[in-house]
Amino acid sequence: MSLRFGGLVALDGVSFDVPAGKILGLIGPNGAGKTTMFNAITRLYRPQAGEIWFGQTNLLGLAPHEIPRLGIARTFQNLALFPSMTVRDNIRVGLHASTKADVFSQALRLPWVGREERRAEQVVDEAIDYLGLRAVERHPAAGLPFGTLKRIELARALVARPKLLLLDEPAGGLNHEEVSALGALIRDIRERFDVTILLVEHHMGLVMSISDRVVVLDFGKKIAEGTPDEVRRNPEVIRAYLGVEA
């Protein structure tokens, strides 16, 4: 796909596949186009050229609100939580992608709505326990440590039971121990939820240790793609990161 902001080419004919059930790391220096790629996939931005396929569905034919229902969830580089809402309510927000109940069925309290609500609360409970958030579930999001906020965002994405999870810099702002724990958690999420993961991340240690494949962008172009080992040794990649000849 290609995507321009006025005269600035943010993505220039970038193409890659994310195989089902795999973790694909999307890396590149600042301004390379990584977040723009996420925003194009979730339909916040419209590329001027190209196609984005999710299985048999062309995402460019859909509106942004239809993306979560397809089974695509994301977390944000700068957390997007509601500060005054409790942790539990923030996580519940993720359910809207997967529940069927509309305003009218809810108002009439049709029997299936009650069943669906109980099931939904169970899914929220599972996510709270899985991400170790039980002690803070009634606490407003505001004021909680950064690492906790990141886990709340993950929980919110997971309750929608996504098939594809887009993680935008999940390690940003975390300390060394938190990053190692996050690596193990992302792998466990992939196994447990049978989810495909597209990971944008600056923390090389994390990307290289958990990704099956890595795609490297630089100034909107794909400059490399391969296994973590192949990418690490690629002269173009070394040049992009260090700004010198390899």
- Binding residue (CB under 6 A) for ligand ATP from 8, 108, 242, 244: 8
72, 196 contact by CB (below 8 A): no
C-alpha neighbours within 13 Å on the C-beta side of residue 213: 15
Residue 8: CB minimum distance to ligand ATP, A: 6
User: Minimum distance between the CB of residue 156 and ligand ATP, rounded to whole angstroms?
Assistant: 21
Asked if residues 207 and 199 have their Cβ atoms less than 8 Å apart, the reply is yes
- Cβ closer to ligand ATP: 46 or 69? 46
Nearer to ligand ATP, 30 or 56 (CB): 30
242 binds ligand ATP (CB under 6 A): no
Residue 104 engages ligand ATP in binding (rule: CB under 6 A): no
Q: How far is CA 126 from the centre of its chain?
A: 20
Residue closer to ligand ATP (CB basis): 32 or 59? 32
Phi, psi values for residue 57, rounded to 5°: -105, 125
Q: In whole angstroms, what is the distance from residue 10 CA to residue 19 CA?
A: 24
Minimum CB–partner distance for residue 75 and ligand ATP (Å)? 14
| Residue 78 touching ligand ATP (CB under 6 A) | no
Classify the phi-psi angles of 143: left when phi > 0, otherwise alpha if psi is within -120 to 50, otherwise beta: left
Nearer to ligand ATP, 33 or 71 (CB): 33
Within 24-43, the residues that bind ligand ATP by CB under 6 A are 28, 30-36
Q: How far is the CB of 5 from ligand ATP (least distance, A)?
A: 3
Task: In whole angstroms, give the CA distance from residue 75 to residue 95.
Answer: 14
7 near ligand ATP, rule: CB under 6 A: no
Q: Which CB atom, from 97 or from 217, has the smaller least distance to ligand ATP?
A: 217
Q: Between the CA of residue 156 and those of 130, 161, 215, what are the distances in Å?
A: 12, 10, 26
The answer to the question of residue 170 lying near ligand ATP (CB under 6 A) is no
Please give the residues from 36 up to 75 whose contact with ligand ATP meets the rule CB under 6 A: 36
Q: Measured at the alpha carbon of residue 168, what is the angle toward residues 150 and 82, in degrees to the nearest 5?
A: 45
**Given the complex with ligand ATP, which of 18 and 97 has the nearer CB atom?**
18
Residues near ligand ATP (CB under 6 A), total: 11
- Rank residues 28 and 71 by Cβ distance to ligand ATP and give the closer one: 28
Q: Which residues bind ligand ATP (CB under 6 A)?
A: 5, 8, 10, 28, 30-36
